[in-house]
Amino acid sequence: MRRVALFLLSLLALAAPAAAKDSLGVFDDWGAFRDRQVPRCYAISAALAEARSNSASRPTQAAFASVGTWPKRGVRNQLHVRLSRLIPANGAISLSIGGQRFELSGAGGDAWAKDRKMDAAVVAAMRSAPTMSVSARDVSGRRFTDRYNLAGAATAMDAATVGCAKLA
């Protein structure tokens, strides 16, 4: 848990001034935060470094998964994944959660659900599965997989939703 807390704090330091973020809690491998300036709230977790496949190739960036809410934009529970490697445009990105597969969209180092319906299905799957993985081919054609522990994800997503309830 300390690894996750340190990672989350370092992500916040890079993303914006620390004063702009309110911690809503750390729940196992997931944290929840509120940014009143935007406003937005999100649950976030780092990929499991020891569980990445093809470890001979180093990641190009820190991988994380987040589920965010932007109340003034009417967006709730939107999935965003920062991949550990850059992928080509139109590359296939596969998300696997508890036996369910979702084809994400994205390019470069980012991936998203294709629409709100898929966001809802992904979030529902995340609530009941122990792990999830995101697989793709990097710009060199090498397959890679970023894995996530989902312990605490449901609680962090709920904390983010409640944290933004009064910001709408």
Residue 30 host element (H or E): strand 30-35
Query: What is the CB neighbour count within 10 angstroms for residue 146?
Result: 27
Q: Average pLDDT for residues 53-82, to the nearest whole number?
A: 83
Residue 77 has pLDDT above 70, yes or no: yes
CATH number belonging to the domain at 2-163, selected among 2.40.10.480, 3.40.630.10, 3.40.50.970, 2.60.40.1880: 2.60.40.1880
- How confident is the model over 78-113, as pLDDT tens digits? 999 999 999 999 899 999 999 999 999 998 999 999
Q: Which residues are within 8 A (CB) of 116 and not within 5 positions of it... i.e. 6 or more apart?
A: 78
pTM, two decimal places: 0.84
Using the predicted structure, report yes or no on whether residue 9 has a pLDDT greater than 80.
Answer: no
How far is CA 64 from each of CA 48, 71, 74, 79, rounded to the nearest angstrom? 9, 22, 23, 11
- The pLDDT confidence band at residue 58, using thresholds 50, 70 and 90, is low
